[in-house]
């Protein structure tokens, strides 16, 4: 099996890995590193459960789907998963809002949904309801009906504007 040596930074921690060239980033995160907060849903880029944030430089991050990204192409990249959002035991405002607004039921979509919401707010700190719904378009939730998720993102936006965690 052909392998490639890569270095990945995940949630601030650097990992040196020897990955099969055909393995996805999701396989590496879950199966090689046991980072199971990144979820396997459809495995083909349709549900958003495997969303992670990729550092694109200058303090900016963009959501990518780990199930359709080859790990071998990620050498030198820096990634944030939902587990990397909290700081010193304090939840990120978006995580807290999801809990406070009961925007979680089974929780399977939640890590991806939270990361996508963080990226929406990093680009636009005061999104309208329509912009939130549009931003979350690729993330499927089977349980909540989305209304509480939208409310949670709005609540997080207000807290972040007020400088609260
Ligand atoms: S598991 Fe990646 S989009 Fe569904
Ligand atoms: S909370 Fe169950 S899929 Fe979203």
- In the listed set 50, 84, 118, which residue is the last one of a domain according to the structure? 84
pTM of the model: 0.96
Residues 67 and 105 reside in one and the same domain:
no
- In the listed set 37, 63, 84, which residue is the last one of a domain according to the structure? 84
Provide the residue range defining the domain that includes 130.
Answer: 93-161
User: What distance in Å separates the CA atoms of residue 145 and residue 60, rounded to the nearest whole number?
Assistant: 30
Domain count, the chain: 2
**Interstrand relation of 51-57 and 60-65 (parallel, antiparallel or unpaired):** antiparallel
Q: Mind listing the pLDDT tens digit for each residue in 7-58?
A: 999 999 999 999 999 999 999 999 999 999 999 999 999 999 999 999 999 9
Q: Mind listing the pLDDT tens digit for each residue in 129-142?
A: 999 999 999 999 99
Q: Mind listing the pLDDT tens digit for each residue in 54-66?
A: 999 999 999 999 9
* 3-state class (DSSP) for residue 5: strand
**Residue 164 — very low, low, confident or very high, per pLDDT cuts 50/70/90?**
low
Q: Give the residue from 107, 118, 92 showing the smallest Cα distance to 144.
A: 107
Residues 78 and 142 reside in one and the same domain:
no
Check which CATH number belongs to the domain holding 46 and give it. Answer: 3.10.20.30
Residues 107 and 134 reside in one and the same domain:
yes
Tokens of 155: 């609540």
Ligand 1: distance of its center to the CA of 65 in Å? 6
Residues 45 and 114 reside in one and the same domain:
no
> How buried is residue 8: exposed, middle or buried, by Cβ count under 10 Å (0-12/13-18/19+)?
buried
- Residue with CA at minimum distance from ligand 2 atom 2: 106
User: What distance in Å separates the CA atoms of residue 74 and residue 8, rounded to the nearest whole number?
Assistant: 7
Q: Which of 39, 49, 108 to mutate to test the pocket of ligand 1 (most atoms within 8 A of CB)?
A: 49
């Amino acid at each position: 099996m052909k392998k490639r040596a890569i270095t990945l930074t995940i949630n601030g921690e650097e990992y040196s890995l020897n990955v099969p060239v055909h393995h996805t980033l999701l396989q590496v995160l879950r199966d090689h590193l046991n980072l199971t907060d990144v979820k396997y849903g459809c495995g083909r880029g349709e549900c958003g459960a495997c969303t992670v944030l990729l550092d694109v430089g200058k303090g900016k991050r963009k959501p990518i789907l780990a199930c359709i990204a080859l790990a071998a192409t990620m050498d030198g990249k820096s990634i944030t998963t939902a587990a990397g959002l909290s700081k010193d035991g304090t939840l990120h405002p978006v995580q807290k809002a999801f809990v406070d607004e009961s925007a979680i039921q089974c929780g399977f979509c939640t890590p991806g949904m939270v990361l996508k919401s963080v990226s929406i707010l990093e680009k636009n700190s005061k999104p309208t309801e329509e912009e939130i719904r549009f931003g979350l378009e690729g993330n499927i939730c089977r349980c909540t009906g989305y209304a509480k998720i939208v409310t949670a993102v709005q609540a997080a936006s207000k807290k972040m504007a007020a400088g609260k965690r």
